[in-house]
Amino acid sequence: MESIPHKHHVVFLLLLLFPSPLVFCQLDYKFYQYTCPNLTNIVRYGVLSAIANDTRIAASLLRLHFHDCFVNGCDGSLLLDDTNTFKGEKNALPNRNSVRGYEVIDTIKSSLEKVCPSTVSCADIVTLVAREAVYLTGGQFWLVPLGRRDGTTANETAANEQLPSPFESLENITAKFTSKNLDMKDVVVLSGAHTIGFAQCFTFKPRLFNFAGSGKSDPTLDPSLLENLQRVCPNQDDSDTKLAPLDPQTTNKFDNIYYRNLVNKSGLLQSDQALIGDNRTASLVDYYSKYPFLFLKDFGVSMVKMANIGVLTGQNGEIRKNCRRVN
Ligand code: HEM
Ligand SMILES: *[C@@H]1O[C@H](CO)[C@@H](O)[C@H](O)[C@H]1NC(C)=O
Ligand SMILES: *[C@@H]1O[C@H](CO)[C@@H](O)[C@H](O)[C@H]1NC(C)=O
Ligand SMILES: *[C@@H]1O[C@H](CO)[C@@H](O)[C@H](O)[C@H]1NC(C)=O
Ligand SMILES: *[C@@H]1O[C@H](CO)[C@@H](O)[C@H](O)[C@H]1NC(C)=O
Ligand SMILES: *[C@@H]1O[C@H](CO)[C@@H](O)[C@H](O)[C@H]1NC(C)=O
Ligand SMILES: *[C@@H]1O[C@H](CO)[C@@H](O)[C@H](O)[C@H]1NC(C)=O
């Protein structure tokens, strides 16, 4: 009866064969291919210059992306300054006096506005910057699907409630990841980001002097590391903001030593060391401690997953001109 397919069927078939980001509102590796062809170089140069000025900034930029994605999705909401109508995320407890790198994003954004004005979202810049931060510190390169749009609001309460704390149980941290469509493997893989950067003493001090209210130190902390940390972070409030490296062996190098540290009872945060204290995650930690290349590869895969959280595409959101405020 219907030997010739109906016109709509042909269109539908073509859509199946050639899925277009405009039709399905998905991210696309070549999103800015024609509209901002030099995007990758400009971002890489911006991150490279920032690292030349301050080695730690690579770690800070990687964390900035994580804290953006976990609140309102990867929509650049973390970059918004407070306004009369909403309180931004910058002053939420996990971010205040802790997240760094906003100026680096501003500098890259203004370079981009000169060559492709109102084209590249702040959310995509943050995502690409995180990839470059890993790549330029020795990690593996991965391709980033693009086309995120910028959110028009931020949520301080959500930042306080949804970002994981280093004092939380693995159970609770996993629940926070699961609610973002990530799983327990992603917790292990993405925690590997703690192979670079620093933490303030208050984020692990209870382990040094009063672990779980015991009046003693954490028995899962290596004694010689404990001694070093007690020197950096003496048991008084004015040491709270002093810094210790998350991976003292290779602080600025993106490698798998983080996992080898965990095997050696040398994780800095309680939430790091907990990964080897639970038999659902310990075997993966052990595996990454032995196979650096497999960690670096899996890290890229989990980063792409994280970078997909709650993205705005198509006509949603906007392309900000200035990452600090909505247009
Ligand atoms: C699994 C749950 C996580 C917890 C509980 C956690 C907690 C923390 C804490 C407390 C700090 C120190 C902050 C400060 O002292 O100001 C920190 C630093 C850092 N975090 Fe995490 N984090 C987690 C996951 C992640 C993820 C998923 C990433 C990225 C993919 C990441 C990347 C970093 C980096 C690179 C630093 C060093 C930042 C710098 O030196 O400026 N973290 N994290
Ligand atoms: C692309 O950007 C880089 C970094 O800013 C710059 O050095 C290079 O000249 C640019 N290339 C083109 C073709 O504009
Ligand atoms: C260099 O790094 C320091 C420390 O993070 C920062 O205060 C300063 O603004 C940076 N300068 C430039 C030009 O990026
Ligand atoms: C902010 O997030 C909280 C919970 O995380 C939610 O209850 C609240 O409705 C959000 N506020 C806005 C304005 O979206
Ligand atoms: C885990 O989450 C529950 C429910 O939010 C909370 O009551 C509990 O204190 C948390 N436990 C830890 C160790 O963070
Ligand atoms: C872990 O401990 C083993 C045995 O003590 C040692 O050979 C190795 O160098 C340590 N690894 C790290 C990263 O400290
Ligand atoms: C894993 O740990 C749970 C709870 O501690 C225990 O019941 C279970 O037997 C353990 N499984 C293995 C394979 O060790």
Based on the fold, state whether residues 178 and 295 are members of the same structural domain: yes
Does residue 57 sit within a domain? Answer: yes
The pLDDT of residue 300: 98
Which token pair is 78?
């973390």
Does residue 94 sit within a domain? Answer: yes
Ligand with the closest atom to the CA of 108: 2
Based on the fold, state whether residues 120 and 206 are members of the same structural domain: no
Coil, helix or strand at residue 137: coil
Does residue 16 sit within a domain? Answer: no
The pLDDT of residue 6: 54
Q: Closest ligand 3 atom to the C-alpha of 57?
A: 5
Based on the fold, state whether residues 255 and 174 are members of the same structural domain: yes
Which token pair is 123?
């959310």
Report CA(275)–ligand 5 centroid distance (Å): 17
Answer for the pair 183, 191: CB distance below 8 angstroms, yes or no: no
278 is in an annotated binding site: no
314 is in an annotated binding site: no
Q: How many helices (H) and strands (E) does the chain have?
A: 15, 2
The pLDDT of residue 26: 87
Q: Could you tell which of 34, 35, 41, 110 is best to mutate to test the pocket of ligand 2, judged by most ligand atoms within 8 Å of the CB?
A: 41
Does residue 3 sit within a domain? Answer: no
Based on the fold, state whether residues 216 and 126 are members of the same structural domain: no
Ligand with the closest atom to the CA of 260: 6
What are the φ and ψ backbone dihedral angles of 35, each rounded to 5 degrees? -90, -20
Report CA(71)–ligand 4 centroid distance (Å): 10
Beta bridge partners of 322: 325
Greatest Cα pair distance, the chain, in angstroms, is 85
Ligand with the closest atom to the CA of 263: 6
d(CA 91, CA 71): 13
Give the angle subtended at the CA of 172 by the CAs of 169 and 173, to the nearest 5°.
85
State if pTM tops 0.75.
yes
- Mean pLDDT by runs of 10 across the 327 residues of the chain is 48 48 72 98 98 98 98 98 94 98 98 98 98 98 98 97 98 98 98 98 98 96 98 97 98 98 98 97 98 98 98 97 98
Based on the fold, state whether residues 226 and 145 are members of the same structural domain: no
d(CA 98, CA 53): 19
Does residue 13 sit within a domain? Answer: no
Question: How far does the chain reach from its first CA to its final CA, in angstroms?
Answer: 56
Smallest CA-to-CA distance from 303 within 154, 203, 210, 182 is with 182
Smallest CA-to-CA distance from 177 within 309, 48, 38, 78 is with 309
Based on the fold, state whether residues 225 and 290 are members of the same structural domain: yes
Residues in CB range of 79: below 8 A, 6 or more apart: 68, 102, 105, 122, 126, 323, 324
Look up the domain containing 157 and give its range: 39-162
Based on the fold, state whether residues 79 and 114 are members of the same structural domain: yes
The pLDDT of residue 1: 40
Report CA(53)–ligand 3 centroid distance (Å): 6
Report CA(287)–ligand 7 centroid distance (Å): 18
Beta bridge partners of 198: 245
Based on the fold, state whether residues 176 and 298 are members of the same structural domain: yes
Catalytic residues: 67
Number of domains in the chain: 2
Q: Could you tell which of 194, 270, 276 is best to mutate to test the pocket of ligand 1, judged by most ligand atoms within 8 Å of the CB?
A: 194
